[in-house]
Amino acid sequence: MRPKHTNQPDNAKPPAAFKKKSRARTGGKASSAKSVQRLQRITVDDLRSSQERIRLNTLQRKIALAPPLDRHPPEKLGDFLPSWFEKNVVQSGELLALASETIQAALPAKLWCNIALGPVQRGLLTIYCSSSTAKMELDMILRAGSSNLRHLQIATKGLIFKVKSVVDRSIVTG
């Protein structure tokens, strides 16, 4: 025997969800708080034609467009550190060693004591000077187009092609 409140056949599956039954748009006041809101059973067919189905489709599209989680599996720290150390420390150290030998040969000993080599980024070597006079002397010696700068470029195999000098009073060497 079928219950009277449903219009589903006896072999129908149980409903997927429940939602509040919508009120008719009469333009009048909302029903009083004492009235009991009846629940309406939602079937799969109702979901296909309702806002919930649209939300479900949107969610499925977002999931489909998301990159798979295992696209780039994380590297183990033991695998990552040696290659990073080789690239960032060893090669930069060798490059700065070549640059320091070349610059030291081009500079007077008094000026060499007042500078410190900084990082190399995109072919630009930063040199820190202890005073503005040391900066001015260094700029004159390693001026663009000078033979000293050309020797530096050749010694570093083109990895350093420009020099920038910066006054940093905390640099006291020698």
Q: Model confidence over 66-85: pLDDT tens digits?
A: 666 666 666 777 788 888 88
Q: Which amino acid is at 155?
A: A
Express each pLDDT in 102-147 by its tens digit: 999 999 999 999 999 998 988 999 999 999 999 999 999 998 888 9
Using the predicted structure, report yes or no on whether residue 25 has a pLDDT greater than 70: no
**Average pLDDT in the chain:** 77
Does residue 166 contact residue 124 with C-beta atoms inside 8 Å?
no
What are the structural domains of the chain?
A: 90-167 (3.30.300)
Give pLDDT, residue 19. Answer: 53
Contact 142, 81 (CB under 8 A): no
The pTM score is: 0.53
**Paired strand residues for 41:** 18
Instruction: Give the model's pLDDT for residue 124.
Output: 92
Is residue 145 a contact partner of residue 102, using CB atoms and an 8 Å limit?
A: no
Confidence (pLDDT) at 82: 86
d(CA 121, CA 85): 17
Greater confidence, 19 or 132?
A: 132
Cβ burial, residue 125 (10 Å; 0-12/13-18/19+): buried
Mean per-residue pLDDT for 87-98?
87
Q: Would you give the DSSP letter of residue 116?
A: E
Closest CA to 154 of 81, 83, 102: 102
Identity of the amino acid at 44: V
What are the structure tokens assigned to 8, written together?
């589903």
Task: Give, for 121, the enclosing helix (H) or strand (E).
Answer: strand 115-121
- Asked whether residue 7 carries a pLDDT value surpassing 60, the answer given is no
Specify the pLDDT at position 150.
92
| 102 three-class SS | helix
